[in-house]
Chains A and B, each alone.
Chain A
């Protein structure tokens, strides 16, 4: 058996969800169950076939795993019990590690991980700042802007982060994966000042909005007293 294994299959075997890829017999239940199959280039069935054939570059540069919504429909129905959802997550990781990742979702995942490592808990405002500063995705930002005021007014977007006592403790639990051969464009995009700027803008924005809110509520209280 060993002589038919390609290097990609061998590499995946030691990663999350990757040790059963050879079990796939191409029934297509996964692609038939996938709610985002329309967004995908190949779909999980063909991805598995491409893995079996060792087409590492085509798999890792595809957009499919970035559209996976982690719904576990495929995993749940797979007659060969391949954990396809976990495999998709591993493909995302590998695409980042090997410098193939170009999708916005890759940037979102990175911003998310940076934020929870910073505080030990999620801080949505900083996550958004990190993400939009990293991607400059103006189209996405414009779509998000109308949602922000209701979120702020309904108290769904706190301005002060929740923290664990020692966020540094988390570093040992999720060590940075090795990043081999990251192309230059990606290396340039890593900006050390980003977290500082994000925190600064967060603070200013938080102070501004909360003082505005406080003033308006104080004014309303004053008027009510009159």
Chain B
């Protein structure tokens, strides 16, 4: 299995541990990732005008030029933007022509690149049964709350339910963890306005973490660097917003996958978290 890989800006800075653990676990599973050369920022939620389609479309064109037919985007925001661009280019001829006119010489976009999120690559292309067979160190006794955020499943999607998503739950169960269900698992963390209206982010993040903790979670797992920034880096602000301590470590699903596949905890970047998961992991024997 070979896929094109679009890391996205966050995975080189604030979310390096996501990049690290994703590459390690996919290599262990025998899934080859070929990094897209010269990729550019997708525009996040701040793309404007024609750039909303144009910026991600350049990455799709690069993928076509580099002979890749699929792009894996681990950031929910990039995933959403790349898919939106891919769909727009595929279905709308005028958009395709405009994008192609703006592309540099030698780049031409036909619009048949599949954009996938690594979580659904594991669930739907690799297969849970096959994955289960590779688990050497089940996460028995680990109480984990899956957090989906927004753009992983919204708007409507062929991979999961936007209202009651189940992908992370299924993965966690396959890894042997105890899945904690809670009402805020697909509610927004407010990461998009984290700098300009940080009080809003703190409030929304506080609700999510509080709800997970109340339901009995020891840690939260997620699949988006923006959500991670809100839940991990902003946790001190969220604690002030809800009025009490939270102290919930927030892990990427690839880090938990890595543990279950028997990869040493020291390799999975747990030291890079603001709220350290090490005490909880030590208690469980990792």
Q: How far is the CB of A137 from chain B (nearest CB, A)?
A: 8
Q: Is the CB of A173 within 8 A of B99?
A: yes
Task: Tell me whether B192 is interfacial, beta carbon within 8 Å.
Answer: yes
Q: How far is the CB of B117 from chain A (nearest CB, A)?
A: 15
Q: Is the CB of A72 within 8 A of B41?
A: no
Residues of A within 8 Å of B50, CB to CB, are 173-175
A204 to B99 CA separation, bound complex (whole angstroms) = 38
Which residues of chain B in 224-246 are interfacial with respect to chain A, using CB atoms and an 8 Å cutoff? 233-234, 236-237
Residues of B within 8 Å of A104, CB to CB, are 196-197
Residues of B within 8 Å of A116, CB to CB, are 9, 40-41, 43, 55
Task: Tell me whether A100 is interfacial, beta carbon within 8 Å.
Answer: no
Q: Is the CB of A169 within 8 A of B43?
A: no
Q: Mark B250-273, 1 if CB is under 8 A from A, else 0.
A: 000000000000000000000111
Q: Is the CB of B190 within 8 A of A124?
A: no
Task: Tell me whether A201 is interfacial, beta carbon within 8 Å.
Answer: no
Q: Is the CB of B197 within 8 A of A72?
A: no
Q: Is the CB of B200 within 8 A of A71?
A: no
Segment from B10-18, B27-35, B124-132, B211-219 that makes contact with A:
B10-18
Q: How far is the CB of B259 from chain A (nearest CB, A)?
A: 20
Segment from A3-11, A23-31, A140-148 that makes contact with B:
A140-148
Q: Which residue of A lies closest to B98 (CB)?
A: A173
Q: How far is the CB of A118 from chain B (nearest CB, A)?
A: 10
Residues of B within 8 Å of A56, CB to CB, are none
Q: Which residue of B lies closest to A15 (CB)?
A: B49
* Most central of A66, A107, A175 by chain B CB within 10 Å: A175
Q: Is the CB of B237 within 8 A of A143?
A: yes
Chain A interface (Cβ < 8 Å from any Cβ of B): 16, 35-36, 39, 66-73, 75-76, 83, 85, 89, 93, 96, 103-105, 107-109, 112-113, 116, 120-122, 124, 128, 131, 140, 143-144, 146-147, 150-151, 154-158, 162, 164-166, 169-170, 172-175, 177
A sample of 20 more A-B contacts (CB under 8 A), given A73-B188, A156-B15, is A69-B204, A70-B150, A70-B192, A72-B150, A89-B45, A104-B197, A105-B193, A112-B44, A113-B48, A124-B14, A140-B196, A147-B233, A147-B234, A150-B274, A154-B272, A170-B51, A170-B58, A173-B51, A173-B102, A177-B49
Give 7 nearest A-B pairs by CB, closest first. Answer: A174-B51, A173-B54, A71-B188, A72-B154, A122-B9, A105-B196, A104-B196
Chain B interface (Cβ < 8 Å from any Cβ of A): 9-10, 12-16, 38-41, 43-52, 54-55, 57-58, 99, 102-104, 150-151, 154-156, 162-163, 187-188, 190-193, 195-198, 200, 204, 233-234, 236-237, 271-274
8 cross-chain CB contacts under 8 A? A35-B204, A69-B193, A75-B155, A76-B155, A147-B233, A150-B233, A156-B14, A174-B54
